[in-house]
């Protein structure tokens, strides 16, 4: 399901003989894989639910990235849900089942000024001339970029030390160490990397929130000689 969510016609495939596939082919393969999995495991009720609520032609464009010509930056309705979460826990925290006129008043008086202030900051018209701090997502992207630019050996050793320092009875400790050992023994794959279009055929690229992976980051660093733009 997560793989089907992130597929897109502009993302290259690992198969060199079939580097790109159309949106229709992505949909057909997603439905076929789900049906075959449910058929092999005798999950008729799961198939009925997934088809009616997620994979039918009517529901597919509502959540699948492949249904859009451009690559969507946001997923589902998380921005709207986040806004209502703030309204519920910040503006309506002291009210139980408030009246509609009260909700409207709080949205106009409490929410809209914050939204206008945020928009002014994003557009660069608030505190003109002052240096801007990195936004939360920009700071996260910077951390991810620096981490992916490091050699695999350094990243793997750091992860292993992190889990080795935990107590032996820590939940998931042995499982994570086993996965790290398998990752260390796994041979490095060869992927199609295109800096011009900023795409990569590895499995980590489409699932990353910033659409970056270590292959693109390291290729960009080599091209820039590890110097900032």
**Of all residues in the chain, what percent carry a pLDDT higher than 90?**
17
74 or 89: which carries more pLDDT confidence? 89
Dihedral angle, C-alpha 5, 6, 7, 9, nearest 10 °: 120
* 122-177 per-position pLDDT tens digit: 777 777 777 777 778 889 999 999 988 888 888 888 888 888 888 888 888 888 88
Stretch 193-201: mean pLDDT, rounded? 88
Sole residue written with tokens 């809209």: 112
Cα–Cα dist 165/220, whole Å: 34
Residue in the structure block whose two tokens are 């409207």: 104
Q: Do residues 81 and 89 make contact, with C-beta atoms less than 8 angstroms apart?
A: no
Q: What is residue 39's predicted lDDT score, i.e. its pLDDT? A: 93
Instruction: Give domain limits for the chain.
Output: 2-67, 78-123, 136-224
């Amino acid at each position: 399901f997560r793989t089907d969510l992130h597929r897109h016609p502009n993302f290259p495939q690992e198969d060199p003989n079939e580097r790109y596939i159309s949106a229709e082919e992505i949909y057909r393969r997603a439905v076929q894989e789900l049906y075959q999995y449910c058929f092999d495991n005798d999950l008729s009720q799961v198939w009925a639910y997934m088809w009616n609520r997620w994979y039918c032609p009517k529901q597919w464009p509502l959540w699948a990235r492949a249904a859009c010509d451009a690559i969507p930056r946001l997923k589902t309705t998380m921005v709207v849900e986040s806004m209502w979460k703030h309204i519920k826990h910040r503006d309506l925290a002291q009210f139980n089942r408030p009246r509609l006129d009260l909700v409207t008043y709080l949205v106009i008086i409490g929410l809209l000024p914050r939204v206008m202030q945020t928009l002014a900051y994003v557009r660069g018209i608030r505190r003109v001339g002052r240096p801007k701090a990195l936004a939360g997502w920009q700071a996260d992207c910077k951390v991810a970029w620096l981490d992916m630019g490091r050699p695999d050996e350094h990243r793997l050793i750091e992860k292993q030390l992190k889990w080795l320092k935990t107590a032996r009875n820590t939940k998931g400790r042995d499982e994570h160490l086993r996965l790290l050992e398998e990752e260390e023994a796994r041979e490095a794959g060869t992927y199609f990397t295109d800096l011009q279009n900023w795409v990569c055929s590895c499995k980590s690229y489409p699932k990353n929130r910033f659409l970056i992976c270590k292959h693109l980051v390291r290729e960009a660093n080599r091209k820039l000689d590890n110097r900032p733009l």
